[in-house]
Amino acid sequence: MADEPATRETVLVVEDDVLVRMPIAQYLRDCGYKVIEAVSADEAMTVLLHRETVVDIVFSDVDMPGSTDGFGLSKWIREHRPGLDIILAGTVPRAVNAAKELCDDGPTPKPYEPHAVHDHIRRLLAARKATGRT
């Protein structure tokens, strides 16, 4: 704990595909952020309404199941949490690049190669496709 940055920003990652969410969340943790994971906009709103949970940045997929998608979440945040930064990343490459930009500015900037993260996610998704899971 002693070597953690004093101000550790919290990123709320909203992504319904575990094989994408898992590496992105780990990537951001490695850059020094505290990361909260949500699998839908509904879960994200539950987190954001929870008074004890501090969130500095929302990092969200666009196309998600549930009562609303990433655009709806963005609109909800503008109304209920104005001033909270939201990053919408509609595709895996955009998500990886947005994560890299966060890492560049993060508490523990690391020279991560976004292509490596993207390749890792691509391999996970390809392996799932090969095993017939959708």
Partner 1 sequence: MGAVGERPRPGQQASAVHTVLVVEDEVLVRLMIADVIRSAGYEVIEAANADEALEVLAHTHGVSLIISDIRTPGSLDGLRLAQLVRSHRPAVPIVLTSGHLRNVDSVDHDGFFPKPYDARKIVEHIEALLARKR
Q: Which residues bind partner 1 (CB under 8 A)?
A: 1, 18-19, 21-22, 25, 36-39, 43, 46-47, 50, 52-53, 124, 127-128, 131, 133
> What are the backbone angles phi and psi of residue 107, rounded to the nearest 5°?
-60, -35
- SS3 state at 133: coil
Q: Which is nearer to partner 1, 50 or 101 (CB)?
A: 50
The closest alpha carbon to 107, from 52, 22, 28, belongs to 28
Q: Which is nearer to partner 1, 54 or 101 (CB)?
A: 54
In whole angstroms, the minimum distance from the beta carbon of 94 to partner 1 comes to 22
Q: Which is nearer to partner 1, 67 or 131 (CB)?
A: 131
Amino acid at 77: I
In whole angstroms, the minimum distance from the beta carbon of 29 to partner 1 comes to 9
In whole angstroms, the minimum distance from the beta carbon of 53 to partner 1 comes to 6
Q: Which is nearer to partner 1, 67 or 133 (CB)?
A: 133
CA distance 34 to 128: 28
Q: Which residues of 42-63 are buried (b: 16+ CB within 10 A; e: fewer)?
A: bbbbebbeeeeeebebbbbbbe
